Chain A
Amino acid sequence: MNVKQQIDLIIQEVKQQICSVSSMNELSEMKAKYLGKNSPFGQLMSQMKSIPNEEKPAFGQTVNEGKNIIAELFDQTKTSLEQKAIDEKLMNETVDVTLPGVNFSVGSKHILSKTIEEIEDLFIGMGYSVKEGPEIESDLYNFEMLNLPKGHPARDMQDTFYITEETLLRTHTSPVQVRTMLETGGNKPIKIICPGKVYRRDDDDLTHSHQFTQIEALVVDKDVTIADLKGTLLVLAQKMFGQERNIRLRPSYFPFTEPSVEVDVSCGQCGGKGCSMCKQTGWIEILGAGMVNNAVLEAAGYDSKVYQGFALGMGIERIAILKYKIDDIRAFYTNDLRFNRQFK
């Protein structure tokens, strides 16, 4: 048997045995046995002396190659044993992944705030600014400057909480429009929305609340038209209630606008065919609007021969009631968390 054959035999032997190795200790022992001092390779190397000089390099190379093959086998087995150990360890760490995670509180935005922010963002996108003003107002800004002199029959439309004869809780956010027009000095265009709390002398019931929330919009410029108002209302209705909705305008009356309109949105439940929700009309009233009355423009310092504008005003509760099918306006102010927490 020559050297090559002997080495192949050793490799065969190692390959057979290494398959059954299951621990690092066994592997070390086996490694010592085949690659250590008293290994078969040691014995082979001791034969070196008796080999003619010219054969020595080939002999040495053959032995080293055999050793390398075996060392490689040991390395492979070591890596796989290590991997196995890690796998076992990890399997022992297995948890029930279906148990609940650590709880983090999530709060909720009030539905009125949420709706206001939604409408604000829509109008900001169309170039409007948001204006605010005091809730305790003068009769002058709340009524007189809006073409509602003292004793005007239309004052009956807004029953008022008075504090003194001249101060009151604002009945709409329109005084903010008056203040803004006065601020701009009558010679600049205006594009604003005015959100805020308003108050009416109503008894609280399913559909009435002595306090509620309004957003009004005012656009004043040289070329503002009813068509612009109609377009804005359509965008608003579709954004708040869905792209498939339509709107229509009906004549109405507000002292601060002329013409004045009530705005209906097509009923979402029946799509306009008529159902119990829309009282068989196919339409639901959502807000009032109109072209700013010249008397209001003039009172606020705008030349009505040059400037014209539109205004619209909506009750946020009404919008939310229609959007989320809420049946009692008082729910907005009770703050039952089972209600509030539904709106994030």
Chain B
Amino acid sequence: MLFSLKWLKELVEIPCSTNELVSKFNLMSSEVEGYSKMVEASNLVVGHVLTCIDHPQSDHLHICEVDVAKEVLQIICGAPNVAKGQKVIVALEGAVLPGDFKIKKSTIRGVESRGMICSLDELGIDHKYHQEDGIHVLPSDAVIGDNPLKLLNYDDEIIELSLTPNRGDLMSMMGIAYDVSAMLNTSLHLSECKVKEIAVLNPVKVSSETNLCKSYYARVIQGVKITESPYWLKARLIAAGIRPINNVVDITNYVMLETGQPLHAFDYDKLQSNEIVVRKAKKDETIVTLDGKTRILLEEDIVITNGLYPVALAGVMGGESTQIDNSTERILLESAVFYGLTIRKTSKRLDLRSESSSRFERGLDPNRTLLACNRAAELFNTLASGNVLSQVSYFESQSLVPLKVDLSLDKLISVTGYRYSNELVASVLQRLQFDYTQNDNSFTVHVPTRRFDVKTYQDLIEEIVRIAGYELIPTTLHSSSIPGLLTTVQKQRRIIRDTLVSLGLNETITYSLTSELEAPLFDFEGHSSIKLSYPIVENRGTMRHSQIPAMLEVLSYNIARKNTNVQLFEIGKGYTANGENELVSGLLTGIYNDSKWQGISQKADFFLVKGLLESLFKSLNINNVIYSPMAKHTDLLHPGLSAQIWVEGNLLGWIGKLHPSLLAQKGLPDVYGFELNFNVLVNSSSPTVKMREIPKYPSVTRDLAIVIDAKITAQDLMNTIKKAGKKTLIDVDIFDVYQGVNIESGKKSIALSLVFQDYTKTLSTEEVDQLVSRILKAVSQELDGQLRS
């Protein structure tokens, strides 16, 4: 909400600086978005063009002799409309115009120029507000040497409030004045409205066929002369960001700014009836609105009809058929209240949100409907020579009496934590001009209808707290006996994050929304996607299933910036029709770790990434992890360098090298990755530790090399050995894998270190020998493996 400070000062006493006023608004009422002078210019005077001749060296410049009271200046002016005898705005030497434009004495094509004759654009008034080309010509009675900003009423400051949706009351000068009066504790000077009626009766009948119209007041004014509005009125509209059009339209807008009540003026002669009927639109009914567009209506829209057909789209826009034009003489003035939600829907659907519709949406003071009608009538009489017919035709269904809200001092204190006194509460209510009755520590407040946002005691508490000042309230901490904790799952998430960071990975956070094409990638279960109904851009229109595509983008981004060694992880969600699925994902490329001068260099590869995961599993106490080939080959993962990861019969995720053709397509080097299901990971983890005694007896280590078919996995061999070794075999470690000379082709040798331990006694050589032969027997029977000779 933009408004003129000069206007506000007419309505309420403001004994402080603009800075102080702004600060009060911020702390007690509504945030000030910005404030500035209406025109940021100095050294302007009214000048009189005495002579105006063409510049001999130019086809468009004029040489003017301009009387500025103290002297006569020669000024070169390029405006096509400058002429002898005009009163104009002159920027003298030393003037500074908006945009830090300094006026200096100069010579233009050999002729001296001492100043500038200004257009309104040059004063910083946006072109849309005046639509004048060339210099602004002042009225002939302007006094030479005077300040033209005063004459134009531009000697003003504009304040912009950033209104929250509840403060519809501040969408009027009267509302702002009431709040300022409460803020500053100063008096209001609202003017009384006096309508001069003629002895002709208003013939219009008003009725409503829908409860979506709360009230409707209509007056008829005849003999109206359409002209431009006076400077003061135009300036106030411009300050509020509204374009002046003609006196009739401007008056309706001005009164809307003043009271908050939107008004509409019909050309009564075009209405072709004496009847106003408000009703819901009929299905597929149409109306041509003021902007010349044909609008197709829905049954949920409200229309104003002349009893036969729609003449206006209620609260949104008037109809073209009853539009005011330069020959309009009789006006039907509408001041009505329509149901806000309906206006909101209609205006949103037709993309016709306006000053009016936003006021209907936020609410109106039912006691200003008639007031606004009369106020406009008064101005039609004084500014448009109109004669106001006697009586207002109306329909009214709203309650016009204040709402009673009870508030006890105890409640106020228990909610705020500050010990307000009865006197303080009473003084705030007085400043707000809320009537009340007080019974000991209880207040019954009669909330004026202009404050339709105040409905409950909570709303009243806010009024008291803000006007008395938030700084009164002390700072305390709420004591409670609830312990604050992270859940097990939250702790595990932190362990996962900390472990991956300590293993040298960098955490990323990427967007959940991606393109329809990328979204399902790396979801090997093939769920269907979740799509937005109205995305802003198509490449952010679908929820990702996997984090890998976005991380791959991050990896590409970094490689393109000469960072070829990238280690990433992300903990976030994938989203599919199957639900939200938290994931732990990683991508690595290039050198993982190196110490160059010592010749140490570890490249990211399958087993490096697998090792990182094994460390992660250790830190989460996860055992019994099983790797198996991917269920099916895809063009996303290398078929020979990828695996599914299982734990306790649940699919935990996958690990692998990304498919070389995918990488080639993106111009990337070898990239390895993994993606784990967070829930499976956390459910498999055993966070509680059971302490086991340190063995008192020594362990025995035996090394074996076993020759088996090359297709048998190390995992199968280990499982067979572990099963056969039972619990005495406490550790198996592979220390060599060999294929080649001395080993039959199609076979491989795996060398293992077996550690045996009995917690109750020292193992004898015979006992270990027995265990080893049992293991070799199992390996031979189950896997056809032999001890390497």
| CB <8 Å contact, A259 and B461 | yes
Name the contact of A100 in the complex, choosing from B416, B485, B597 (C-beta under 8 A): B597
A57: CB under 8 A from chain B?
A: no
Name the contact of B512 in the complex, choosing from A135, A151, A221 (C-beta under 8 A): A135
| CB <8 Å contact, B536 and A203 | yes
- With A130-B490, A227-B416, A251-B29 as known contacts, state yes or no: A151 contacts B345, CB within 8 Å: yes
B280: CB under 8 A from chain A?
A: no
Name the contact of A251 in the complex, choosing from B30, B482, B558, B600 (C-beta under 8 A): B30
Stretch from A8-16, A36-44, A45-53, A328-336 forming part of the interface with B: A328-336
| CB <8 Å contact, A105 and B470 | no
- With A99-B597, A123-B484, A153-B344 as known contacts, state yes or no: A336 contacts B558, CB within 8 Å: yes
Residues of A near B490 (CB, < 8 A) are: 130, 132
A109: CB under 8 A from chain B?
A: yes
CB distance from B219 to the nearest CB of A (A): 30
| CB <8 Å contact, B415 and A308 | yes
Stretch from A58-66, A78-86, A155-163 forming part of the interface with B: A155-163
Stretch from B559-567, B648-656, B772-780 forming part of the interface with A: B559-567
Name the contact of A161 in the complex, choosing from B417, B532, B566, B569 (C-beta under 8 A): B532
CB distance from A167 to the nearest CB of B (A): 9
- With A219-B478, A258-B458, A335-B510 as known contacts, state yes or no: A107 contacts B470, CB within 8 Å: no
- With A100-B597, A123-B484, A163-B532 as known contacts, state yes or no: A252 contacts B164, CB within 8 Å: yes
A78 vs B513: C-alpha distance in the bound complex, in angstroms? 80
| CB <8 Å contact, A151 and B341 | yes
A302: CB under 8 A from chain B?
A: no
| CB <8 Å contact, A333 and B509 | yes
Determine the residue in chain B with the shortest Cβ distance to A202. Answer: B536
A125 vs B482: C-alpha distance in the bound complex, in angstroms? 11
Chain B proximity mask over A156-176: 1 for CB below 8 Å, otherwise 0: 110001111000010000000
B462: CB under 8 A from chain A?
A: yes
| CB <8 Å contact, B362 and A294 | no
A102 vs B599: C-alpha distance in the bound complex, in angstroms? 10
CB distance from A96 to the nearest CB of B (A): 10
| CB <8 Å contact, B501 and A108 | yes
Determine the residue in chain B with the shortest Cβ distance to A295. Answer: B456
Most B-side CB within 10 Å, residue of A125, A151, A164: A151
| CB <8 Å contact, A108 and B165 | no
Determine the residue in chain A with the shortest Cβ distance to B467. Answer: A251
Within A181-233, which residues are at the interface with B (CB < 8 Å)?
A: 189, 191, 197, 199, 201-203, 210-211, 213, 219, 221, 223-228, 230-232
Name the contact of B580 in the complex, choosing from A135, A163, A258 (C-beta under 8 A): A135
A280 vs B535: C-alpha distance in the bound complex, in angstroms? 38
A100 vs B594: C-alpha distance in the bound complex, in angstroms? 12
CB distance from B542 to the nearest CB of A (A): 10
CB distance from B744 to the nearest CB of A (A): 41
A249: CB under 8 A from chain B?
A: yes
Residues of B near A130 (CB, < 8 A) are: 486-487, 490
Within B181-215, which residues are at the interface with A (CB < 8 Å)?
A: none
Residues of A near B534 (CB, < 8 A) are: 161-162, 201
Residues of B near A201 (CB, < 8 A) are: 534, 536
CB distance from B233 to the nearest CB of A (A): 29
A338: CB under 8 A from chain B?
A: yes
CB distance from B405 to the nearest CB of A (A): 13
| CB <8 Å contact, A161 and B535 | yes
Determine the residue in chain A with the shortest Cβ distance to B569. Answer: A107
Interface size on A, residues (CB 8 A): 89
B742: CB under 8 A from chain A?
A: no
B414: CB under 8 A from chain A?
A: yes
Name the contact of A225 in the complex, choosing from B416, B466, B530 (C-beta under 8 A): B416
Residues of A near B166 (CB, < 8 A) are: 154, 253
Determine the residue in chain B with the shortest Cβ distance to A247. Answer: B475
Name the contact of B415 in the complex, choosing from A103, A225, A249 (C-beta under 8 A): A225
Determine the residue in chain A with the shortest Cβ distance to B340. Answer: A153
B296: CB under 8 A from chain A?
A: no
B691: CB under 8 A from chain A?
A: no
Residues of B in contact with A, size category: 35 or more
- With A164-B533, A333-B510 as known contacts, state yes or no: A250 contacts B27, CB within 8 Å: yes
Chain A proximity mask over B489-525: 1 for CB below 8 Å, otherwise 0: 0100010010011111111111111000000000000
Name the contact of A231 in the complex, choosing from B475, B503, B504 (C-beta under 8 A): B475
B689: CB under 8 A from chain A?
A: no
- With A117-B494, A124-B484, A251-B466 as known contacts, state yes or no: A107 contacts B567, CB within 8 Å: yes
B292: CB under 8 A from chain A?
A: no
A74: CB under 8 A from chain B?
A: no
- With A107-B503, A153-B344, A232-B478 as known contacts, state yes or no: A120 contacts B486, CB within 8 Å: yes
Residues of A near B482 (CB, < 8 A) are: 127, 129, 189, 191
A260 vs B28: C-alpha distance in the bound complex, in angstroms? 12
| CB <8 Å contact, B480 and A191 | yes
B231: CB under 8 A from chain A?
A: no
CB distance from A300 to the nearest CB of B (A): 16
Residues of A near B29 (CB, < 8 A) are: 251
CB distance from A175 to the nearest CB of B (A): 13
Most B-side CB within 10 Å, residue of A202, A228, A251: A251
Name the contact of B511 in the complex, choosing from A99, A120, A191, A333 (C-beta under 8 A): A333
Residues of B near A223 (CB, < 8 A) are: 414, 478
Name the contact of A262 in the complex, choosing from B31, B480, B598 (C-beta under 8 A): B31
Name 11 extra pairs, CB < 8 A, besides A163-B532, A344-B501. Answer: A100-B597, A104-B504, A113-B571, A125-B484, A151-B345, A164-B533, A210-B540, A225-B417, A230-B474, A249-B473, A334-B557
Could you jot down 19 A-B contacts, CB within 8 Å?
A: A104-B504, A106-B504, A113-B509, A117-B494, A123-B484, A127-B482, A129-B485, A129-B487, A134-B580, A136-B580, A154-B164, A163-B533, A169-B512, A221-B478, A249-B470, A251-B30, A259-B465, A294-B456, A335-B510
- List residues of chain A with CB under 8 Å of any chain B CB: 99-110, 112-113, 117, 120, 123-130, 132, 134-136, 151-154, 156-157, 161-164, 169, 189, 191, 197, 199, 201-203, 210-211, 213, 219, 221, 223-228, 230-232, 234-235, 248-253, 255, 258-262, 281, 291, 293-294, 308, 332-338, 340-341, 344
- List residues of chain B with CB under 8 Å of any chain A CB: 26-31, 164-167, 340-341, 344-345, 361-362, 414-418, 456, 458-459, 461-462, 465-466, 470-471, 473-478, 480, 482-487, 490, 494, 497, 500-513, 530-536, 540, 543, 554, 557-558, 561, 563, 566-569, 571-573, 575, 580, 592-595, 597-598, 600
